């Protein structure tokens, strides 16, 4: 243990503690920009490039970076001296000297950490005008826009992409003033191995990385003569309220439905219904594989980033992911067949809009495999939770005080199992709830598989399944997925089923969710709300949803049968690693 003083306050800390960590224990705020520390996910970015966290070591005539400097015995630190204040201000001014000043029309206006920091340190003018980095904006992908003229070289994105996700698309290239975070051979994003998970833009402090904005496409569709229906994912409803000042984890399902109707959608549906259908298909597929002892382990396929990751990196294992489409794509496919038939509408005259916590869903909806033989996409437009929040603000709705409404029928009822799709471990838990009863023929008394829950990157369990022991694993974050797949490929580990989500913590921490700015407590509260939704449901198993039963009886026929495969299943593509 070490003794030191910060702003005349004594503190005792463990060896290895940084000045920044020690100051936090005393509730002293030291501004940071490049620093990122998500303890729950074991994610740390320590590039020490911005230097806005400088503090003064009294008597040493030294300025130290608080985020990277470990405490020493007897240190006397000031975080509030005139010298520190001037140094921090100069650091921010130097960053601004090479930064665009289009804040009013910037996609990150109001959410930009550099903008907020400039206000906090009292920047009134830019004293150091000079040459600025000019780069071509990369709008090549359906999901992510790169504008490196707004990059401050904090390398948070590089840490997420290369260290956490192990995708390796983003890295710093060049030297000196010409340094930029780029891609291999300056290739556009859509020509790389990028999975479009959006974790880079989720941690980017500026607007160097943002999502492709589809808001105008939705407004145009709503102004057309077509029938426009919308579906919402389970992670959206426990995060949307944050945009309107509501507490993280607040379930705003009813208000969200009312708001969507106010926007002008013809029908408002719940992706959770399709999540229940996904479980019927996925559990059937799991039982089939277990029975025939083939293509194990089954890998879940709800996450498009994860699917693209395996296509690029594990081409020899493309036979083991489930062939099920993701829930929102299943919903779109059902809507443009069964629902269109019920409504007497030509599928060409129907527009399906998905509200998702994920920017990769934008890319996914454009995959040619997820369209009919006539070329009609299952899902036409995807917007994120953030985009929906912006659109509702455009309408000047008093969102927190809206009355609650119910989803439209048919395809509006869902089980608790569908609710937990939004968090890491939820898809596998939902599948086990159904597979257990199908395999054993017994009633499942306890529906809570707590060993599959939480923010831990890799979770393992052995589930009794009749005379079998079902070996399962859950991973969130693509780096953890790589560890699991490598262990399977080498023969070191054996599983029967694995759930994989690209984003740490699952969809609740998706790249399209309201920014958390590094606060993992927000993610935990969203997770708690997801499980609370499950507990409130009368029906908590997908195969007991009466509307899903009706869908199969009237339209799909046998689960995992020929028609179900035609409408609800897909194929994968071997992709080069770039």
For residue 201, the model assigns a pLDDT of 96
pLDDT at 518 over 90: no
For residue 578, the model assigns a pLDDT of 81
Q: What is the pLDDT of residues 68-91, one digit of tens each?
A: 999 999 999 999 999 999 999 999
For residue 128, the model assigns a pLDDT of 84
For residue 130, the model assigns a pLDDT of 77
Alpha helices in 207-320 (DSSP H): 215-222, 253-263, 271-292, 304-313
What would the 3-class secondary structure string for 483-545 be?
A: HHHHHHHCCCCCCCEEEEECCCCCHHHCCCCCCCCCCHHHHHHHHHHHHHHHHHCCCCCHHHC
Q: What is the pLDDT of residues 240-283, one digit of tens each?
A: 999 999 999 999 999 999 999 999 999 999 999 999 999 999 99
Residue 475 annotated in active site: no
Mean pLDDT to the nearest integer, 438-450: 93
Q: What is the pLDDT of residues 107-150, one digit of tens each?
A: 999 999 999 999 999 998 888 887 888 889 999 999 999 999 99
pTM: 0.95
For residue 81, the model assigns a pLDDT of 95
Residue 285 annotated in active site: yes
Q: What is the pLDDT of residues 507-517, one digit of tens each?
A: 999 999 999 98
For residue 175, the model assigns a pLDDT of 84
What's the mean per-residue pLDDT of the chain?
Answer: 95
Choose the catalytic residue: 336, 361, 362, 525: 361
Residue 361 annotated in active site: yes
Choose the catalytic residue: 311, 507, 525, 542: 507
For residue 410, the model assigns a pLDDT of 80
Choose the catalytic residue: 294, 341, 369, 554: 369
Beta 180-182 vs 171-173: how paired, if at all?
antiparallel
For residue 480, the model assigns a pLDDT of 97
Choose the catalytic residue: 143, 322, 323, 354: 322
Q: What is the pLDDT of residues 373-388, one digit of tens each?
A: 889 999 999 999 999 9
For residue 70, the model assigns a pLDDT of 96
Percent of the chain with pLDDT over 90: 90
Choose the catalytic residue: 194, 302, 324, 503: 302
Residues 6 or more apart whose Cβ sits within 8 Å of residue 426: 419, 420, 499, 506, 530
For residue 184, the model assigns a pLDDT of 85
For residue 526, the model assigns a pLDDT of 98
Q: What is the pLDDT of residues 148-195, one digit of tens each?
A: 999 999 999 999 999 999 999 999 888 888 888 999 888 999 999 999
For residue 533, the model assigns a pLDDT of 96
For residue 95, the model assigns a pLDDT of 93
For residue 413, the model assigns a pLDDT of 92
- 528 vs 410: which has the higher pLDDT: 528
Choose the catalytic residue: 364, 413, 429, 499: 364
Q: How many CB atoms lie within 10 A of CB 317?
A: 15
Choose the catalytic residue: 242, 282, 311, 499: 282
Choose the catalytic residue: 285, 311, 429, 499: 285
pLDDT at 534 over 90: yes
User: Which CATH code is given to the segment(s) 216-568?
Assistant: 3.40.50.1780
Chain region(s) in the chain for CATH 3.10.20.740: 2-97
d(CA 355, CA 335): 15
Q: How many CB atoms lie within 10 A of CB 341?
A: 12
CA nearest to 419, candidates 272, 294, 556: 272
For residue 471, the model assigns a pLDDT of 97
* Helix, strand, or coil (residue 321): strand
Residue 507 annotated in active site: yes
The DSSP symbol for 120 reads H
d(CA 481, CA 459): 11
The confidence band for 40, taking pLDDT boundaries of 50, 70 and 90, is confident
CA nearest to 154, candidates 71, 92, 79, 108: 92
pLDDT at 458 over 80: yes
For residue 2, the model assigns a pLDDT of 95
Mean pLDDT to the nearest integer, 525-546: 97
User: Which CATH code is given to the segment(s) 2-97?
Assistant: 3.10.20.740
Mean pLDDT to the nearest integer, 25-42: 90
The confidence band for 38, taking pLDDT boundaries of 50, 70 and 90, is confident
Q: What is the pLDDT of residues 330-358, one digit of tens each?
A: 999 999 999 999 999 999 999 999 999 99
Chain region(s) in the chain for CATH 3.30.70.20: 133-211
Q: What is the pLDDT of residues 187-239, one digit of tens each?
A: 999 999 999 999 999 999 999 999 999 999 999 999 999 999 999 999 999 99
Residue 322 annotated in active site: yes
Tell me if the domain spanning 133-211 has CATH number 2.60.130.10: no
Q: Which of 174-178, 410-414, 426-430 has the highest mean pLDDT?
A: 426-430
Mean pLDDT to the nearest integer, 284-310: 96
């Amino acid at each position: 243990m070490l003794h030191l003083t910060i702003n005349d306050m004594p503190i005792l800390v463990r060896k290895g503690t940084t000045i920044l960590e020690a100051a936090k224990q005393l509730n002293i705020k030291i501004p940071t920009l490049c620093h990122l520390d998500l303890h729950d996910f074991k994610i740390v970015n320590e590039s020490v490039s911005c230097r806005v966290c400088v503090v003064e070591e009294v008597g040493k005539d030294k300025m130290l970076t608080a985020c990277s400097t470990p405490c020493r015995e007897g240190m006397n630190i000031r975080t509030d001296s005139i010298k520190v204040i001037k140094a921090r201000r100069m650091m921010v001014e130097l960053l601004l000297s090479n930064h665009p000043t289009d804040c009013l029309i910037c996609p990150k206006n109001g959410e930009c950490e550099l903008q907020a920091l400039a206000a906090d340190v009292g920047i009134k003018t830019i004293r150091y005008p000079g040459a600025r980095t000019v780069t071509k904006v990369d709008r090549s992908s359906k999901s992510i826009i790169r504008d490196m003229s707004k990059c401050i070289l904090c390398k948070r994105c590089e840490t997420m992409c290369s260290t956490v996700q192990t995708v390796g698309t983003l890295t710093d290239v060049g030297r000196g003033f010409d340094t930029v975070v780029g891609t291999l051979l300056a290739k556009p994003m859509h020509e790389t191995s990028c999975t479009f998970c959006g974790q880079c833009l989720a941690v980017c402090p500026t607007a160097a990385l943002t999502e492709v904005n589809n808001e105008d496409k939705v407004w145009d569709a709503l102004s057309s003569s077509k029938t426009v229906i919308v579906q919402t994912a389970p992670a959206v409803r426990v995060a949307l309220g944050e945009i309107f000042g509501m507490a993280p984890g607040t379930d705003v399902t009813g208000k969200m439905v009312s708001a969507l109707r106010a926007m002008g959608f013809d029908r408002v549906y719940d992706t959770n219904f399709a999540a229940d259908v996904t479980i019927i298909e996925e559990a059937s597929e799991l039982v089939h594989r277990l029975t025939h002892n083939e293509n194990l382990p089954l890998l879940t396929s709800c996450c498009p980033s994860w699917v693209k990751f395996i296509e690029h990196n594990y081409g020899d294992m493309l036979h083991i992911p489930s062939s099920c489409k993701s829930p929102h794509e299943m919903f779109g496919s059902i809507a443009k067949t069964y629902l269109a038939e019920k409504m007497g509408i030509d599928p060409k005259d129907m527009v399906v809009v998905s509200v998702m916590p994920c920017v990769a869903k934008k890319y996914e909806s454009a995959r040619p495999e997820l369209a009919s033989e006539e070329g009609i996409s299952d899902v036409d437009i995807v917007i994120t939770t953030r985009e929906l929040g912006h659109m509702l603000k455009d309408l000047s709705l008093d969102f927190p005080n809206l009355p609650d409404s119910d989803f439209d029928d048919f395809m509006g009822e869902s089980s608790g199992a569908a609710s937990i799709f939004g968090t890491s471990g939820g898809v596998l838990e939902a599948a086990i709830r159904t597979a257990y009863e199908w395999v054993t023929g017994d009633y499942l008394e306890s529906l809570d598989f707590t060993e599959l829950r939480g923010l831990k990157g890799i979770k393992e369990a052995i589930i009794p399944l009749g005379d079998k022991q079902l070996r399962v694993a859950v991973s969130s974050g693509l780096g953890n997925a790589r560890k699991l797949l490598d262990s399977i490929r080498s023969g070191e580990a054996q599983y029967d089923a694995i759930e994989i989500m690209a984003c740490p913590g699952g969809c609740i921490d998706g790249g399209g969710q309201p920014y958390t700015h590094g606060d993992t407590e927000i993610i935990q509260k969203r997770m708690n709300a997801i499980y609370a939704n499950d507990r409130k449901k009368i029906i908590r198993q997908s195969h007991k949803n009466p509307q899903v039963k009706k869908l199969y009886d009237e339209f799909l026929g046998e689960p995992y049968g020929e028609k179900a495969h035609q409408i609800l299943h897909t194929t994968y593509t071997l992709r080069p690693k770039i």
